[in-house]
């Protein structure tokens, strides 16, 4: 599944970067690719591709986010993970982008406690049963970005509301695309 999502983003990126504006006097098309890293309760890595509609303050964003538990009080197994692949529609206001949509959410969470593995040098490891899940979520994000013609940097507040593992967080994002 992850391989298919990455291939999808690659195809969209290549087709988006080959688009040209030929008519004079029209507002050029705007599109960008973003990579961000940050944290909420879970550490996050996000890749997003967006297209801002010509002569309208709206945008369409495809994003993939990987969230993983790295800050735990004890050594536990398995770690909680959340994968979020979504399509968002939003509104552009100056340097801000507000978006929401639908996403496919899947990942791993800890189930029933199984055993504690003792380690004389450390605290030991707490083993739980591995529970896989998949569901539909409602992703939302607010992006603040500042850019030159081709490069940008910004902050993204993100979240996903779903029945298995809802999450929120903050990312530092870097952008590559056509902003002017």
Torsion angle (degrees, nearest 10) of CA 176, 177, 179, 180: 130
User: Is residue 15 very low, low, confident or very high in pLDDT (cuts 50, 70, 90)?
Assistant: very low
Looking at CATH, the fold of the domain delimited by 2-15+36-70+81-107+135-178 is given as Porin (2.40.160)
Question: Of residues 128 and 5, which shows the higher confidence score?
Answer: 128
Question: Of residues 77 and 151, which shows the higher confidence score?
Answer: 151
**Please, what is the average pLDDT of the chain?**
81
Using CA atoms, how far residue 75 sits from 43, 125, 129, 161, in Å, is 16, 5, 14, 27
Whole-angstrom distance, CA of residue 124 vs CA of residue 176? 44
Question: Of residues 172 and 110, which shows the higher confidence score?
Answer: 172
């Amino acid at each position: 599944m992850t391989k298919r999502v990455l291939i999808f983003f690659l195809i969209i990126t290549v087709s988006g970067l080959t688009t040209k504006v030929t008519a004079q006097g029209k507002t050029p098309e705007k599109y960008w690719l973003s990579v961000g890293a940050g944290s909420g309760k879970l550490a996050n890595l996000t890749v997003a591709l967006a297209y801002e509609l010509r002569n309208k303050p709206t945008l369409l964003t495809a994003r993939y986010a990987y969230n993983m538990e790295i800050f735990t009080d004890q050594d536990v197994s398995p770690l909680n993970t959340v994968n979020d692949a979504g399509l968002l529609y939003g509104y552009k206001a100056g340097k801000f982008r507000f978006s929401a949509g639908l996403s496919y959410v899947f990942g791993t969470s800890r189930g029933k406690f199984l055993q504690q593995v003792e380690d004389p040098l450390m605290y030991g490891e707490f083993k739980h049963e591995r529970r896989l899940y998949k569901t539909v979520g409602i992703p939302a994000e607010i992006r603040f970005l500042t850019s030159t013609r081709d490069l940008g940097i910004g902050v993204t507040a993100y979240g996903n509301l779903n029945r298995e593992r809802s999450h929120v967080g903050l990312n530092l994002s870097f952008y590559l695309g056509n902003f002017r």
